[in-house]
Amino acid sequence: MKIICVCGQPHSGKTSIIEKIIKEMRKRRYEVCSAKDIHCQGFTMDTEGKTTWRYREAGAKIITARGGEETDIIFRESLSFEELIRFFQGDFLITEGFEKEANVAKILCAEKLEELEELVSPLVFCICGRVSEQIDQYRGIPVINALEKPEEIVDLIEKKAFAKLPDLGCCRDCGYGCKKMAEAIVAGEASREDCKASQSRVKFMLEDEEIPLKYFVQEVISGTVLGLLCNLKGYKEGKKIILEIEKV
């Protein structure tokens, strides 16, 4: 699943732009998910006194309410970006906010030219908002009126969006590191397939969660396990090996 982050100052039109992007993507038959980061002290979608609120106050960790039209799941904590995106499946995830957590391609929404100097980063591949009435590019980044030309925005998304990198802080197997790799992908200097950690020969699962491994670590584990098993009866080269270790 490819991820795009729409970021910018409050009240800069991010929600309207995302709405246009989603509608255009649906025209192209993409499955689209969305997530919004709300910076509001004390914000909750629950209602005091209602059944789900009472369950939460009683101490339930996760509360679910299912109706005829939707299912709502409430966690009693603010999930990290990494934890949150595990719940999504589709072709694209469009987020409003999360810009400090999300190492993904970004669309910047700005009202004034003076905002650009502060907000533009190497991950921004497109600029929208009222500044599109004044300029059509900024430092080589296209500036587009998304409300009038959402198809041009989605054309760019199709070229620039990529699936989230593992974000292994100590990994440099690709020659970049995850942060610089993301920037290189947006700049067209690298591709998502260049990520060595994603070329998994070894999958490490902790309970139901996959833990990304550096390419070097994958090679060490693979070599060690194959070296131990290759002389055992029943071993066949090229066959998939599953090793499970129960916690004691």
- Please report whether residue 222 resides in a domain: no
- Please report whether residue 176 resides in a domain: no
- In the chain, the number of structural domains is 1
Q: What is the pLDDT of residues 21-58, one digit of tens each?
A: 999 999 999 999 999 998 777 777 888 888 998 998 99
Q: What is the pLDDT of residues 189-245, one digit of tens each?
A: 998 888 876 766 677 777 777 777 766 677 677 667 767 777 777 777 667 777 777
CATH of the domain at 73: 3.40.50.300
- Please report whether residue 213 resides in a domain: no
- Please report whether residue 210 resides in a domain: no
- Please report whether residue 13 resides in a domain: yes
- Please report whether residue 75 resides in a domain: yes
> Which pTM value belongs to this model?
0.78
- Please report whether residue 30 resides in a domain: yes
Residue 10 is part of which domain span? 2-163
Closest of 204, 155, 212, 3 to residue 89, by C-alpha: 3
Q: What is the pLDDT of residues 188-205, one digit of tens each?
A: 999 888 887 676 667 777
- Please report whether residue 237 resides in a domain: no
